[in-house]
């Protein structure tokens, strides 16, 4: 079946360093969505990418969708403590069901 692989599972950074998480799909996706889950909270929708090669920015967050619509990345510049949480990608498959990545947990080193 369709799968979305997300790496890394964890990333420890010093506050102010950058963070990147990557998602790769075994098949072409209609779109890709990104969600953030704060510790103890529920996933919250961040953004949706639809077009091949699309790049979108939200302040310090940059989202990219690959040319083949099989991969995506989220890059955070100069992390802050408010960025802590788990970031999930979710690709929309052919049956309009979301295929979720396993998430990348962003941990800020004390």
Partner 1 sequence: SQTIHQWPATLVQPVGSPLSLECTVEGTSNPNLYWYRQAAGRGLQLLFYSVGIGQISSEVPQNLSASRPQDRQFILSSKKLLLSDSGFYLCAWSGGGSQPQHFGDGTRLSIL
The residues that touch partner 1, with contacts defined as CB under 8 A, are 30-31, 33, 41-45, 48, 50, 88, 90, 92, 96-98, 100-103, 105
Which CB, 66 or 101, lies closer to partner 1?
A: 101
Residue 70 C-beta: closest distance to partner 1, Å: 17
**Toward partner 1, which CB reaches closer, 60 or 105?**
105
Q: Which is nearer to partner 1, 43 or 66 (CB)?
A: 43
**For partner 1, the closer CB: 77 or 98:** 98
> What's the rounded Cα separation, in Å, for the pair 16 and 55?
22
First to last CA, the chain: 40
84 DSSP assignment: -
Minimum CB distance to partner 1, residue 89 (Å): 10
Q: Which residues of 65-99 are buried (b: 16+ CB within 10 A; e: fewer)?
A: bbeebbbbbbebeebeeebbbbbbbbbbbeeeebb
| Rounded-to-integer distance, Cα 101 and Cα 88, Å | 6
Minimum Å gap between C-beta 16 and partner 1 is 25
Task: Report in angstroms how near the CB of residue 47 gets to partner 1 at its nearest.
Answer: 9
Which residue stretches of the chain are H helix? Answer: none
């Amino acid at each position: 079946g369709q799968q979305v692989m997300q790496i890394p599972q964890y990333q420890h950074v010093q506050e102010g360093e950058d963070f990147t998480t990557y998602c790769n799909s075994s098949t072409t996706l209609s779109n890709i969505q990104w969600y953030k889950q704060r510790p103890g909270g529920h996933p919250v929708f961040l953004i949706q990418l639809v077009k091949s090669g699309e790049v979108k920015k939200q302040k310090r967050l940059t989202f990219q969708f690959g040319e083949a619509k099989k991969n995506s990345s989220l890059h955070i510049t100069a992390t802050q403590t408010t960025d802590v949480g788990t970031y999930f990608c979710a690709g929309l498959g052919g049956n309009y069901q979301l295929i979720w990545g396993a998430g990348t947990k962003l941990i800020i080193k004390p």
